[in-house]
Each structure stands twice: as C-alpha cells, then as structure tokens.
Structure 1
Amino acid sequence: MFRSSRGLYSHIPCPVLPRCRLPHCLFNHGQQHQTKQPRQAVPQRQISNSASTAGSSVYAGKGRVSSSLLIGQSEINEHVSLAFKGSAKRDAPATESTVPSATPTKRARQQVSVPLESKRSADAAANFTAAEDEAKDSAVVYILPVKPHPPALHSQRLQLATALAKALRDNKLSTTPNNAASTKELEIASRTTSATYANTMKQHIISLGKRGKSVEKINAKKTNEIPSERILEYIPQLVHKEWQLEENKYLTALPSQNEIEEARAAVASGYETCDRCTRHFKVGAEGQSECVHHWGKPYRVKGSDKKFSCCGEMEGMTAGCRTSPRHVFRITHYPRLAVMIPFRQATATGNNFPSAVALDCEMGYTTLGSELIRLTILEFPSNNVLYDSLVKPIGEVIDLNTQYSGVTSVEDPGIPTFDATMNTVLAKYIGAQTILIGHGLENDLAVMRLYHKKVIDTSILFPLDNPGLTSRGYKRSLKSLAFSMLQRDIQGTSRSSTVTRSTTEGVISNEGASCASTLPPSVVAPDALKLEGHDSIEDAKAAADLVALRVKFMLALEDQKRAGATTELKIAT
C-alpha cells in the first residue's frame, strides 16, 4: 500500500494489529515498523504455500496455470501431490540468505517452483507408467504437466490426447486406451516443442490407424491354419480381471450368512416389483390385476422419439401392447438370489474337464423369479455340443418367455430338475480351472447360481465405440457383434437352424452347424421347442466364434511381427 503524504490516519491505531504486514500502512503501528520483522516463520509459510499449490502448476516465467491441468484418476493425483510435497521439503532453503522475502520477487519464485515442478512431473510419469499394466483404465483422458513449459495449451493437448485414445480403442491396440493415450501424450509433450508438438501427435495417430488396418489385412487363410492348441494356450490372457467383473455386476464373493439373513427378512412381506409393467404386487396372491406391458425394447430412430420393437408404438403413448394374467419379477441382488436357491462353486479339478466351454442359458418366470429352463454347453474351440437340455424349474411356472426362449413347455417327465442338471454339469463339464465363454454371462451365472471367476464375456471383450455409453453401462448385443464381425444373422424372428427330433437318439440337430454330427446322449430334445425366439446353441456358438476370432487375429499378428523381425535381422546380418 502506498504511503500517505498527509498522514491523515497516522493518529488512528491499525485495526488488524498485530497481524498487519503491510510495509507502508496508513494507520499508526507505533514502534512496530521501526523494528525488524521476524523472519523465522517466513520459510515455513512460503514452503507450505508452494506445496499447497500443487494443483496450480507454477511454471517459471509463466505464472500459474489452471488446476484443470490435472484431470484423471484420484490415485495419480495423490502420487503427484505426495511427490510434490516431498520434494518441496527437500528443496526448501536452509539459510537466511536464500529465504524469500514476504513479497517474493520473480527470481525467488523461479528458485522455488522450477525444481519442484520438474520433480513432480518426473515422479508422476514414473508412477503412472509402472502402474499402467495393473491399474484399470480411467474414465477420461487426463493431461499431466511437463517441464519447464508445456508445448501447447491444455485444451489442444487434451483434444489430441482424446483423439489418440479413440485411435487406440478403434483399432483395438490397447485394453486401457485412456491411460495409454495419457502416457504417450506426456512422453511426446516432454520431448517436443511448440513448433513440433501438434505434428508429432498427428503423425502418431495416423500410424496407429495404419497399424490397426494391418491387423484387418491379415490373410484369413493364415488365421484358419492356427491350431486349436495355440488358441487354448492363449485364451487365459483374455480372462477378465476381478475389477472388470465387479464393474459388470458379476458375483465376485459368495454372500455371507448375515447378508442372506438380512435379505430373507427384507422379503418376508412377499411383495415384488413387476419386471414388465413395474407395478408393485404380492407374489402368489389371488385376484391380481392384469399386467399390461410392451414385451419389446424401446429404440430410437434418428430424428424421432423412442419406439418399441414389439409394436412400433412411440414411448408413452399407451400402457402396452400385450396383456398377461399375472405379474412376473426378476431378482438381481445376490443375497436375495441365495435366499431362493443357494449358490454353488466349481471345485473339482483334473484333466477330464475341458479347458474352456461356451455356454448359454434360456430363462423363464416362476414364483421364485427368473429361473433356468434351458442350458447349452459347447466345447471350445471345436463347438461340439457337450450338454443341451431343458431344465424343470423349482418354482411354479408363470411365463416361459417363449418369444425369447423358444420353449413352450417344461412338463415332460423326462426333463431333468435344476439340481440334477447342475450336478451333472459340475461333475463332467465345468471344473475349477475351466474358462467360461459367453455373452452377458453375469445373467447366466446368476440363474445357474454358479460362482465362477474364470470368465470371458464378449460384451466386455468387444465394448461399444462410444466410451460415454460404455461408462453408463450400455453394451453391444450379441446379434450386433455376430452380424458385424462374423457376418452372421442370429436371433431373428425365425431360427436360422432347423430344430428337429432324431428318431434314434432323441437329440436336437442344427442343420448347417459344425456341431450337428457330434451330439451326445445327454442332449435332451423335447418337442416343446418353437421355431422362434433365441437358439441357445446358436448364441453359444456365436460367442465362442467371436473369442476364437479375436485370438486368431492376435496370434496371426504376433506371427507377422515375428516374421518381420526375422527379416530385419537377416538384412542386418
């Protein structure tokens, strides 16, 4: 504050004494300004201020940059903050000659900020690079600071890093595209200048597109030559980690007895919410109101409102296009599922179990919720049918969901019960080390009451191209994946495979399928299968072929890289 030439307020004591630190205060301080200010508290306050501004990113000669420079995972911010504070304490001036004054000059700010920022950037890059392979992918692309000056504005760096993440995701070159893009952008930004940064990033993004196309150009004949043994050796690398299973609502730990008891007490009233019309009703009560609903799913056509796939009506126009005499419900809470039917776990080991199987389930509504009514298990990668049978549910049947399951009746006395089915499956086809392959397997395992963590889910393996929709829980359907990647039309209004009953073995045969000639006696083919809805053999085969396609391309790419490295070695020698 400037010194008053008239001294109009010099007779008034300063109202903020003794905390006032103005060198030329207008008010009266008595003898305070004539004495030397204490300096021992200044270094501590200056250092703490420097450490607390870790998000402000002070650069030499640049002033302060917005704290939005650090967006991303909380653990990365924590590592950066700790590294910055630690380096601040180590680099703090120890003598009075190097202590900055109460109003530090530009040179003083440079002496404190530049070493701290440099140390912070290096520690952040090292911590992130070391944890990239083990940590899950972040929800967004984030930008880390570079020393001593960033080569571009934060907005431009974020835009190019986002484009890099999209290229990695589209070409399927990384399982963690956001993390990989952030790391690569930091590496490029650290070694380039403002004149070369943008061009270097763009050239790298273009090279990723060419690398992705090289995978697509791999000769299909070479992929078909890959033996099954190599495929089975590779697929353990595709098994999802536990955090991926948790994000996709898989059961990752058996419900405790306390959780089961709490769930049993919560459902003692017997009231449930209808899975179709969302009305509250009491299970098993007589005189229930009719269930009016749309059995199809709503979809949106560009430039119009949502319509239902069952009748084409716009959403909200009517209560529904179908009327059912009874309400149905479905449970997704695992302790509540354990109350109805206990969970099992595959514990058997040995060489008799297949290394990997593809499975698919069909469900129907009973008084116990959604239950298993058909189970199909295929051997991977041959797609031979190991088990395919209808299942008699435990509860009273309300609706077999024929438009999706294709099942019209489960009253045949030859159909095995749920317990008999699961005992057979766990004794012969699913062991502790068997890898399960399917689409949306969290629903299949829940209805089977099976706790198993060695899973390859095609809805996780082939996510949506839009990361925003993926983060909100949207997934690609099996029908869409089979059509775009296998050029195969499944789940149509009528089945692509003909369902017949053999007069000699009494099994299901799928004409045109590779598994039609090797059906075991365990396959039960009732007459109560309709030529509409989903075919569980067809769906399981599509999921298995999608996984096999991914493995073949990865192995063919490895062979191509190995052949290229061998050629370069020969040329060099």
Structure 2
Amino acid sequence: MFRSSSALYAHIPCPVLPRCRLPHCLFSHGQQHHFQPPVERPVTKRQIANSASAASSCVNTGKESDSGRLSPIKSSGGKINSLAFRETAKREVPAAESSTLPTTPTKRARQQVPLPSKATKSTVATSRLTTSEGGAKDSSVVYILPVKPHPPALHSQRLQLTTALAKALRDNKLSTTPNNAASAKELEIASRTSSSTYANTMKQHIISLGKRGKPPEKVANEAKEIPTERILEYLPQFVHKEWQLEENKYMTALPSEKDIDEARAASASGYEICDRCTRYFMVGADSQAECVHHWGKPYRLKGSDRRFSCCGEMEGMTAGCRTSPKHVFRITHYPRLAVMIPFRKAASADKFPAAVALDCEMGYTTLGTELIRLTILEFPSNKVLYDTLVKPIGDVIDLNTQYSGVTSVDEPGIPTFDAAMKTVLENYIGSETILIGHGLENDLAVMRLCHQKVIDTSILFPLDNPELVSRGYKRSLKSLASSWLQRDIQVCSRSSAVVRSTTEEVIGKNGGAGSDSAAPSSVGAPEAFTLKQEGHDSIEDAKAAADLVALKAKFMLALQDQRHAAATS
C-alpha cells in the first residue's frame, strides 16, 4: 500500500492491530511504523528529458506491454527520480534492439519464457499418435484431446474413462502404448457421440476389451490337459441358483392342484391367441381364417425403422409375407400346461450319468407346442445316448419344419410321448443329473419335467449390455458358437426340397464321438424317421451347448492351475 503524502491518518491507531501486516499502513502503529513524510525534491529538466526518452524507447520497440503498471525508476542514489512504463517482453530481445531499452537496472529481473505456438487438434494427434506401434514411445500420462465444436462430457469424466481404458489396454496386453492408444480411441468416441451416449459407449468398449485378450481356448490348451474327471468335479459350480431359474421363467416346483383347477376353468372358453399373427381364434373350429404373418423377427438398424428379417419389409406395412391354413398357439403358463399333460420329476438313483446335454424340437398341435424330437448326449464326450422322433399327443397342426427339420411323425416305429419320456427317466436323467442346453426352460416345459440341476448357456454367457439383460434379451446359440467355438451352426439351406435321411445318417454326419459307433438301440428303427435337413439339427445344437460349457470349465481350471503355480513359485 502506498503512503499518503499528506499523512491524513497518521494520528489514528490502526483498527486491526496487532494483526496488521501492511508494509506501509495509512494508520498509526506506534513505534512499529514511524511515518516520515517524503522530502519533496525539485525535478530538473534533465530528469524530465531522460524519463521521456526512456518511455518513448519502450513504446517504439514494437513489443507487447505487460500490464501497463507504473514502476519507479531509481537513480544511482536509490531515490525516486520519475515514473515510467515498465515493459516485460514475451520473447527474448534481439541484440539490435537491446541498445534501445533503458539501461537503468530494475528491482527484479523477470524470466523470459517464450510461449508455444497454437497447435490444432490434428497437429497434436498426429505428433503424438502417428508413430508405429512397435517402436513408439508411450506417453507418461493419459491426456485428453479437444473435440470440436464442443466435448460430449466434462474434462474430469473424460479423463476418468480414458484412464480406465488405458488400464484395460495395459492389463489385457492389447497395446504397447496404452496411454496413447486410449487417448486416440477416446477422441474417436467423443467425436461421434453425444452427451447422452458418450459414457455408455466408453464403458461398453472398456468391457469388450476384457474379452479380446488371450482366447479362453488358448489359455486352456497352454495349460496341461484337463482330464474329464476334473471337468465333472468342477461342473456343479456352474449350476444355476433357484432365484436365477425363477428369473429366467424355469419351473422350480410342481404346480398345486388349486392352480391347475383355476387354469382349467380359465381355459374352458376354448379361445387362444395365435402365436404368429397374435389374433384370437377358437381352437378346433372348422371354419378358421387363414393366418397371415411374418415368420421372421423384427430388427432395427441404427437410424432406421424396424424391419422383418424374413422379407425385409418395414413393420406395420402389411399383415405378413406368409399365409398358413390354420392358427397355432403356445402356452407358457405352467398350471395350464399341467392341465393338458402332467409334470413329473426324475427319480433318485446312482446309475444315471453325471451330466448330459439335451435339445428338443417342438411342433404345433391342438394342445399347443409339443415335443417331436428329443436328443440326449453324454457330457463331455458328446456321445449320442438317445435321439428319437416323438409322436405328440394332440393332433398335429404344424410341425414347424423350417426350424425343427421334421416333416412327418406318422410313420411306424416312432415312440409316443409317454414311451419316450419313460425311456429317458429310466436310463439317462436322474434327480442329480446336470442338464446342459440352451434355453432349457422351453425344453423342460415340452418334456413336462421339473428339474433344478440345470446349466443354461444363455444364462452362463449373458449379453455385455446389462440393460438388455434386464429386459430379458439373451444371446442366441448360433452367436455363442460363432464367437466362442469358431463354429457355424444352424446354417442349413431353407429350400423347398425335402431330404429324407435316417437318424443313423444324421449321427454319422454330426455325431462326433458317437459317429464312430453304431446308433444305440434306444434310437429306434432308422427307417422310421423322416427328417428335413434344412431345419436345425438337435444333435448339432446339443453338441454346441456341451462344448461351450466344457470350454468354460477348462478355462476356469486352467486359471486355477496358473494361479496355484504362481503362488507356489
């Protein structure tokens, strides 16, 4: 603070004593600050001329001034002579211009730091990220690049997600320069997303990096060969809890008689909802209207309308692309299913296999959906234990050949539903047998079997998006086999030609371990089966589900062995 030349407040005690720390306080501090009025000295013409020349030389240099503050220029005696503009250059002064600056020494010399030139986003990104991955030197920290016209999130959130992305790249050994790669990827995501989608897109990408590391099958193969006994011992850890089964619409207890009676009364009208065109119709009525529907599922591409996979037609344009002579229906309410065919449980015994993989094919009858083909494989050898067509109880409306591959169940030698289930429950499935499959809640419903020792690959391998999982979406078996097993399934041609083949021939083509031996006696007479190869193959689907579970078991056991080896070493 500057002193007052007239000393107007020197006789007043300072109101903030003793905390006042001003070097030149206007008020009185007693003996601490003894104010002495400045001695006015006459200013000579030479001093005025020197001050004017110094100021003009500073202005004529063409340099930017610091802040326009006035600083006193002292003479050799240390007394104030005059006031002049003090200028701080932002660049070093050339030798030619140094002579024009005033030679009077200042109180403190400032450090001359040249400012860097402004660089655009492309220049920064190119200078840091265009080096080759093999010989590039990674940045010491994660940096955030600017996004035009405005970033989709705050700098703190972008930095947090980019740091997590760099950690995922480093942990999974997906990049030798994880910080640079994370910054470049974050810039790419931030440039194409908005404030509402940025965080979710970054999190999904970070989660997906955990699955791009070393493939599970390679980890299992690098470890020692996992014996079958260890796989079967580890398998119970994959069995789903009761609450998981209830969330995925499994039956965990047999329906009571009261529930069955209520369901029987509710279905007495005889009206059902068509499973294809979603219209009400009378079951068994002679004068049924034709069923016009789309047999494919609706899908939506980004930025487009929903279209059907069967014909590519936009949803809502027409009633359908296919016409069927009759309506069909499907019942999912367990008490209503028990009204038509009662449920049962497997018996307790030690003679049954420890685990089996099964797959069912269903068709539409007057009782809803019924079992028309049943396949059971031994786990983990994939040996065919039982594969047979099944004659349903109700009258056949549609065998759903497009998916089931079955064209007829009226030929001799095909067992009935009761005979097939009796064979299965007496030889292959016990109360402690672990059932492996994909979407087994549907298979157990048509088998009328209440079983809780279940490993469902649609639950064991969920979707990456938790929101879709909460809405009930699941990965298809075809998608899981392609990504985990590198195997294409369910790709048979869907031409109108019908191919007749025996079950023995089907086993020979797809049976794996079972193809080396003859078909088991439980399969039945080969000439009694008529299959359409353009549909799904139940042996192929059961084998894919079993291999997925075996692969994950090997992966977990291999990780256990690696951790144990690291701990002991």
Contact 1:218 1:557 in 2 (8 A): no
Mapping 1:104-183, distance limit 5 Å: none
Deviation at 1:220, TM superposition (A): 4.7
Aligned to 2:291: 291
Deviation at 1:213, TM superposition (A): 3.3
Deviation at 1:301, TM superposition (A): 2.3
Q: Which ranges of structure 1 fall in alignment gaps of 5 or more residues?
A: 1-152, 172-201, 568-573
Opposite residue 520 of structure 2, the aligned amino acid is P
Opposite residue 244 of structure 1, the aligned amino acid is Q
Instruction: Name the CA distance, whole Å, in 1 between partners of 2:219 and 2:308.
Output: 41
Deviation at 1:528, TM superposition (A): 1.4
Mapping 1:76-475, distance limit 5 Å: 213=213, 216=216, 218-222=218-222, 225-350=225-350, 352-475=351-474
Contact 1:499 1:509 in 2 (8 A): no
Q: Aligned pairs, how many?
A: 375
Aligned to 1:481: 480
Deviation at 1:303, TM superposition (A): 2.8
Deviation at 1:305, TM superposition (A): 1.6
Opposite residue 424 of structure 1, the aligned amino acid is T
Aligned to 2:143: none
Deviation at 1:218, TM superposition (A): 4.6
Deviation at 1:347, TM superposition (A): 1.8
SS at match of 1:377: strand
Rg larger in 1 or in 2? 2
Deviation at 1:299, TM superposition (A): 1.7
Structure 1 residues 224 and 476: CA distance shift in structure 2, 3 A: farther
Instruction: Name the CA distance, whole Å, in 2 between partners of 1:437 and 1:207.
Output: 27
Aligned to 2:546: 544
Instruction: Name the CA distance, whole Å, in 2 between partners of 1:275 and 1:210.
Output: 39
Aligned to 2:502: 501
Opposite residue 533 of structure 2, the aligned amino acid is L
CA-based RMSD: 3.2
Opposite residue 565 of structure 2, the aligned amino acid is A
Q: Which ranges of structure 2 fall in alignment gaps of 5 or more residues?
A: 1-153, 173-201
Instruction: Name the CA distance, whole Å, in 1 between partners of 2:549 and 2:369.
Output: 28
Deviation at 1:302, TM superposition (A): 2.6
Deviation at 1:312, TM superposition (A): 1.7
Deviation at 1:514, TM superposition (A): 3.3
SS at match of 1:559: helix
Deviation at 1:493, TM superposition (A): 3.3
Opposite residue 531 of structure 1, the aligned amino acid is Q
Structure 1 residues 377 and 207: CA distance shift in structure 2, 3 A: closer
Mapping 1:27-46, distance limit 5 Å: none
Structure 1 residues 85-110: Cα deviation after superposition (integer angstroms, max 9, x where no partner): xxxxxxxxxxxxxxxxxxxxxxxxxx
Instruction: Name the CA distance, whole Å, in 2 between partners of 1:385 and 1:499.
Output: 20
SS at match of 1:522: helix
Mapping 1:511-526, distance limit 5 Å: 511=510, 513-518=512-517, 519-524=519-524, 525=526, 526=528
Opposite residue 487 of structure 1, the aligned amino acid is Q
Instruction: Name the CA distance, whole Å, in 1 between partners of 2:515 and 2:217.
Output: 32
Does 303-312 or 210-219 show the bigger shift? 210-219
Structure 1 residues 260-301: Cα deviation after superposition (integer angstroms, max 9, x where no partner): 000000000111000000110010011111000111111222
Contact 1:499 1:510 in 2 (8 A): no
Instruction: Name the CA distance, whole Å, in 1 between partners of 2:244 and 2:305.
Output: 33
SS at match of 1:344: coil
SS at match of 2:213: helix
Instruction: Name the CA distance, whole Å, in 2 between partners of 1:391 and 1:356.
Output: 23
SS at match of 1:509: helix
Structure 1 residues 514-558: Cα deviation after superposition (integer angstroms, max 9, x where no partner): 331233121244441012110000000000000000000000000
Opposite residue 340 of structure 1, the aligned amino acid is M
Aligned to 1:197: none
Contact 1:250 1:442 in 2 (8 A): yes
Structure 1 residues 386-440: Cα deviation after superposition (integer angstroms, max 9, x where no partner): 0000000000000000000000000012100000000000000000100000000
Opposite residue 552 of structure 1, the aligned amino acid is K
Instruction: Name the CA distance, whole Å, in 2 between partners of 1:375 and 1:560.
Output: 40
Structure 1 residues 289 and 223: CA distance shift in structure 2, 3 A: farther
SS at match of 2:286: coil
